[in-house]
Amino acid sequence: MPEQAHPAVSVRAVDDASVRAIDDAGFRAAMSTLVAPVTVVTARDALGAPFGFTASAVVSLSLDPPLLLVCADRKAGSHDLLVAATHFCVNVMGADGTDLALRFGSHRADKFRDVEIEDSETGTPSLPVALSRIFCAVDGLRDGGDHTIVLGRVLSSRQATGEPLAWWNRGFQRLVRLT
């Protein structure tokens, strides 16, 4: 068969044996080159208590239906609570949100101390201080190695104006608009 000038996309299987797996440090270094959002994912446990954790592994997934995904570390205390939850909120932090991001990125028990919470119609707690709040219903769970991929069907969102906070090169960053 003559070779096509512009062949269709071909998928080539990677021969695992020929590829040396990257080590943890190499993986972390590679991932540190990705710019990620800084969010705090909040929800309520079975007894109605709010919980939350900082998450940068939050990605827009689908327009129809409107889906996003959050990757939750199986080792985190919030993991089992989130996979059991029916709803959650992705609170996207602004440039002034580093303190809260560090607080919710810790294991401390009093994360919500002196933090204003606002409930949605579904009773989902959110942080009004956030730059935007994206309210979701849990739409499914997928295996993601040592993380669980939590699919969220986006129900509503609230946005404020302000500068976003980014996570890059293992630190908090501000963004500069170029176009």
Of 17 and 87, CB closest to ligand FMN:
87
**Residue 52: exposed, middle, or buried by beta-carbon count in 10 A (0-12, 13-18, 19+)?**
buried
Specify whether the CB–CB gap between 101 and 54 falls below 8 A. Answer: yes
CB of 167 to ligand FMN, least distance (A): 5
CB of 159 to ligand FMN, least distance (A): 21
Cβ at position 66, least distance to ligand FMN in Å: 20
Which parts of this chain interact with ligand FMN (CB under 6 A)? 38, 53-57, 71-73, 76-78, 101, 105-107, 167
Tell me whether residue 112 is exposed, middle or buried, using C-beta atoms within 10 angstroms of its C-beta: 0 to 12, 13 to 18, 19 or more. Answer: middle
Pick between residue 88 and residue 167 the one whose CB is nearest to ligand FMN: 167
Which residue type is seen at 169?
N
Residue placing its CB nearer to ligand FMN in the complex, 6 or 108: 108
List 90's β-bridge partners, or say none: 41, 134
Tokens of 112: 């919500």
Rounded to a whole number of angstroms, the minimum distance from the CB of residue 54 to ligand FMN is 4
Coil vs helix vs strand at 13: coil
Q: What are phi and psi of 91, to 5 degrees?
A: -95, 110
Identify which of residues 42 and 54 has a Cβ nearer to ligand FMN in the complex.
54
CB of 41 to ligand FMN, least distance (A): 8
Q: Is 61 or 71 the residue whose CB approaches ligand FMN more closely? A: 71
